[in-house]
Each structure stands twice: as C-alpha cells, then as structure tokens.
Amino acid sequence: MSNIISIPVDSSGLFRPDDTKPVRGGGTRMVPMVPIDDEGNTIPCIWRSHEVVEITKKDGSKGRGNHCLLLACKNPPLVLPADVDLDAWPTFGEGPVEW
C-alpha cells in the first residue's frame, strides 16, 4: 500500500484513552490514526505541519507530504516524527486521544 509509512514501534505500550482519569483542563479529542504497518496497526497523529514538503514514499519515489508527530506510547510518553503522504490523510480513520 502506498499510503503506509513503516516505523519500528513496540506496540505493547500504545496509548489508550482513560475515561477514569481525564487530563486536567483538557479532554478527549479525535485525531487521525496513521497506519504504521501492513497489518492495520495505527498510532495517533497529535501534530501535523501546515507546510507541504517533498517526501520520499515507501516505494522510493518522491511526493508531497506533511511533517507530523505520532504518539507511540503513553507511559513513558514517546512521540515519533514522521513524514506522511499528502494524499493519504483523507484515507485515515480517527481515534480518541486524551488532551
């Protein structure tokens, strides 16, 4: 799939929203869930740049995309930088993240 980015991540600590302990002054928000492998695993994108940059796609071709930060782990917090294909954003589902 051309819309997949590959990031080696230990999925055992992926962030899950916790309804019993909301973040003070925050809340749960829906964010794009970015695919990280061919098996359908996703992680939340918590920041996306407005700037369109040149990226290298998985197949090695050049394309246009955005820099973003993916929340890979809740405890301890781990954020991964990634470049995501501009055309892929509309295909991503959404998921909850506590803010």
Whether 3 is in a domain gets the answer no
Domain containing residue 71: 44-87
CB atoms < 10 A from the CB of 58, how many? Answer: 13
Does residue 67 lie within any of the structural domains?
A: yes
Q: What total of structural domains would you count in the chain?
A: 1
Q: Is 76 exposed, middle or buried (0-12, 13-18, 19+ CB in 10 A)?
A: exposed
pTM of the shown model: 0.69
In a domain, 63, yes or no: yes
In tens, the pLDDT along 8-47 reads 555 555 545 555 555 455 678 889 999 988 888 999 999 9
- Tell me if 57 is assigned to some domain: yes
Query: Is 78 part of a structural domain of the chain?
Result: yes
Calculate the dihedral angle through the C-alpha atoms of 98, 4, 62, 85, rounding to the nearest 10 degrees.
-30
72: in domain: yes
